[in-house]
Amino acid sequence: MAEYKAPLRDMQFILNDVFNAPALWASMPGTEEASDHLAAAILEEGAKICENVLAPINRQGDEEGCQWQEGIVTTPSGFSTAYNTFAESGWAGLGGEPNYGGQGMPKMLTVMFEEMLYAANSSFALYPALTTGACLAINAHASDTLKALFLPKMYEGTWSGSMCLTEAHSGTDLGIIRTRAVPQDDGSYAVTGTKIFITGGDHDLTENIIHLVLAKLPDAPAGPRGISLFLVPKVKVDAEGNLGDSNQVSCGSIEHKMGIKGSSTCVMNFDGSQGYLVGDLNKGLAAMFTMMNYERLTIGLQGIGLADVSYQNALAYAKDRLQSRAPTGATHPDQIADPILVHPDVRRMLLTQKAYTEGCRAFAAFVGMKLDIAKHHSDDVVKSSASNMVALLTPIAKAYFTDRGFENCVLGQQVYGGHGYIREWGMEQFVRDARIAQIYEGTNGIQALDLIGRKVSANQGVWVKDFGAEIADYIIQMPQDAALAPFVTALNAANDLLQDTTDFVTTHSGEDKNFIGAASVDYLNLFGLVAMTFMWTRMAAAALPQADDPFCSGKLKTAHFFIQKLLPEAYAYQAKVKAGASTLMALSDDEF
């Protein structure tokens, strides 16, 4: 059975040594209480619940799955008890708005805890993740009355949340949804329709579930401009917050899935259910994207978490499994064979896992830092710049983290050889659980289109130039040390490659309507590698003064591996971007 140990040393290294997060938090109103000691205590306690409560029920949750019977959904054995422990310990409101009972911890810190949750038990983690996203949207767009009525119970974990977008005939194309909301005399709306693929749409963990539902009024404009957002509780709630009658919200069935089987994926029916408008009429997509953007980043963290737990177990196996001798001769002559860790190809797989997992973890903290600045900084210009950077980097975080996360889980399975294919070892579950992360919250192809279309081409690459300027400024401030010269050279070249490719994209995007779609995924992967180079350069610089510590010397060597063995792929991605769309579109339908 697979085991999990939270990477506390690495998380604290990223927060304290790479980004000096405590100094940033101390400088901004709203985060000043988040000291290094408090952050360490939170991560240590978070590690305990993840290691001791959630990880032990992960395989059991996969084996049992959720069950549906006559409209009632039950989670696997142990999930309800674990959730009660989770909620009673205050984890549901870790990053929540303090005015409504949340703890207001910085995003740089909460991304670390969320990664632990996904590594320990991805199915379980999705329930609080959907609640957190719903709380963000309610806090940003709902009336004060709705916020006061619903947020405290959600932050304490007594009530949970869900996001209801997709319908059977409309996936990404939300403009054609059929769910309707009819105004009522009391100011509420009667919501009717069916939504599919609703994560946590129904379960037995909380006494109420607060659904955020996209719907259209009968006279709404056609297309996306006619979508509104409604808060629809499973159980009606009176003005004092007391539960009342059923709200005509039911689960028609649950999906039987490849992975994350302990997470209920529901078909939800709304039959004249009482709902409340969130935000303005016909502007529901803008309100819902507050939640969607949170979910994009958190699903990226799912990719990191699963990559890390796969790496941990693959490394332990490689140190223990004896097979053949090292190419240079026996390293353990007293044993019948050497551990497979001596073999170059096994090291290639493990180092690839390590380099991508740790690089993505640092990049997640970087995005979290920009979110903290965008929310809390006292300078509006700085806040605006950080907000733009979050918009640019969010689709990369979702797609790049989950693509690399899935690939890393496959590598971890491969290290085990035949045992990796056997359920009892746990590695094949990580592969199955990781696969969905590339699909939901907007497929990774949609993320790539969002990046290259809305975030790059639409503004002629201005935000990418800002990202490049931040890299250039960092290089100027780096310590002048010969040991860092290879990283400076690699980072400068990677930044130039990104800027050159971006110029090519913005110049050619108007010449061929298929160009953006053809270049999008390759461009995102190139950008991801450049971002990883930035992160590994920062980590190398932070590790160098402590190079006599095996943790830091390992960082430096992994950084060298990244720039020599993984970064060169960026040049291939540029070549593919510049190849254009012609070969993709050349075949007729009959020639496929």
DSSP lists the bridge partners of residue 160 as: 209
- Give the number of other Cβ atoms within 10 Å of residue 51's Cβ: 17
Query: What digits encode the pLDDT tens for the residues 391-420?
Result: 999 999 999 999 999 999 999 999 999 999
Calculate the CA 121 to chain-centre distance.
14
Average pLDDT rounded to a whole number, residues 580-589: 95
Quote the pLDDT of residue 511.
85
Provide the domain count of the chain: 3
Last residue of a domain, one of 264, 282, 300: 282
Are residues 106 and 170 located together in one domain of the fold?
no
User: DSSP 3-state assignment of 185?
Assistant: coil
> Do 131 and 183 share a domain, yes or no?
no
357-382 pLDDT per residue, tens: 999 999 999 999 999 999 999 999 99
| Cross-strand pairs, 274 | 190
65's tokens: 């799955």
Same domain, 104 and 167: no
**How many Å apart are CA 115 and CA 457, to the nearest integer?**
32
One-character DSSP codes across 31-68: TTT--HHHHHHHHHHHHHHIIIIIGGGHHHHHHH--EE
CA 379 vs CA 34, 105, 382, 520: distances in Å: 20, 20, 5, 34
Residue 582 confidence (pLDDT)? 95
Residues 84/207, Cβ–Cβ less than 8 Å:
no
Same domain, 88 and 109: yes
Cβ-Cβ contacts under 8 Å for 342 (sequence gap 6 or more): 325, 326, 327, 331
Residue 174 has pLDDT above 80, yes or no: no
Give pLDDT, residue 453: 96
Domain that holds residue 164: 160-282
Instruction: Quote the pLDDT of residue 288.
Output: 87
Cα–Cα separations (whole angstroms), residue 167 to 201, 289, 290, 488: 14, 17, 20, 49
Q: For 230, what's the count of Cα atoms within 13 Å in the CB-facing half-sphere?
A: 28
Q: Please say if the pLDDT value at position 175 is more than 80.
A: no
For residue 510, what pLDDT is reported? 85
Residues written for the chain: 592
Q: If 0-12 CB within 10 Å is exposed, 13-18 middle and 19+ buried, where does residue 539 land?
A: buried
Q: How far apart are CA 285 and CA 252, in angstroms?
A: 25
Residues 423-436 pLDDT 10s = 999 999 999 999 99
Q: Which CATH number fits the domain that encloses residue 108?
A: 1.10.540.10
- Within a 10 A sphere around the Cβ of 81, how many other Cβ atoms? 11
Angle between helices 284-320 and 344-376 in degrees, nearest 10: 150
Query: d(Cα 92, Cα 27) in Å, to the nearest integer?
Result: 26
Is the per-residue pLDDT at 291 higher than 90? no
Same domain as 116, residue 229: no
Residue pair 497/526 in contact by the 8 Å Cβ criterion = yes
241/137 same-domain check: no
DSSP 236-249: EE-TTS-EEEE-SE
Work out the angle at residue 289's Cα, subtended by the Cα atoms of residues 283 and 295, and round it to the nearest 5 degrees: 155
Residues 241-264: pLDDT tens digits? 999 999 999 999 999 999 999 999
Q: Which amino acid is at 516?
A: I
pLDDT at 356: 98
Radius of gyration of the chain (CA): 24
> Do 525 and 551 fall within a single domain?
yes
Taking the chain, what is the end-to-end CA distance rounded to the nearest angstrom?
44
Q: Is residue 363 part of a domain?
A: no
96 shares its domain with 183: no
pLDDT at res. 544: 97
Nearest by Cα to 502 from 406, 429, 578, 413: 578
511 is catalytic: no
Distance CA 573, CA 589 (A): 27
Q: Is 387 helix (H, G, I), strand (E, B) or coil?
A: helix
Q: Is residue 359 part of a domain?
A: no
Cα(202)–Cα(254) distance, integer angstroms: 9
Catalytic position from the list 441, 470, 511, 591 = 441
**128 and 240 both lie in a single domain:** no
DSSP class of 566: I
Give pLDDT tens digits for 490-519.
999 999 999 999 999 999 988 899 999 999
Domain edge (last residue) among 121, 148, 175: 148
Query: For residue range 102-131, what is the model confidence (pLDDT) as tens digits?
Result: 999 999 999 999 999 999 999 999 999 999
If asked whether residues 166 and 139 sit together in one domain, one would say: no
Neighbours of 518 (CB within 10 A): 19
Instruction: Specify whether the backbone of 3 is left (phi greater than 0), alpha (psi in -120 to 50) or beta.
Output: beta
Nearest to 554 by CA among 23, 42, 7: 7
Is 337 in a helix, a strand, or coil? coil
Does position 312 have pLDDT exceeding 80, yes or no? Answer: yes
CATH number at residue 178: 2.40.110.20
Are residue 113 and residue 186 in the same domain, yes or no?
no
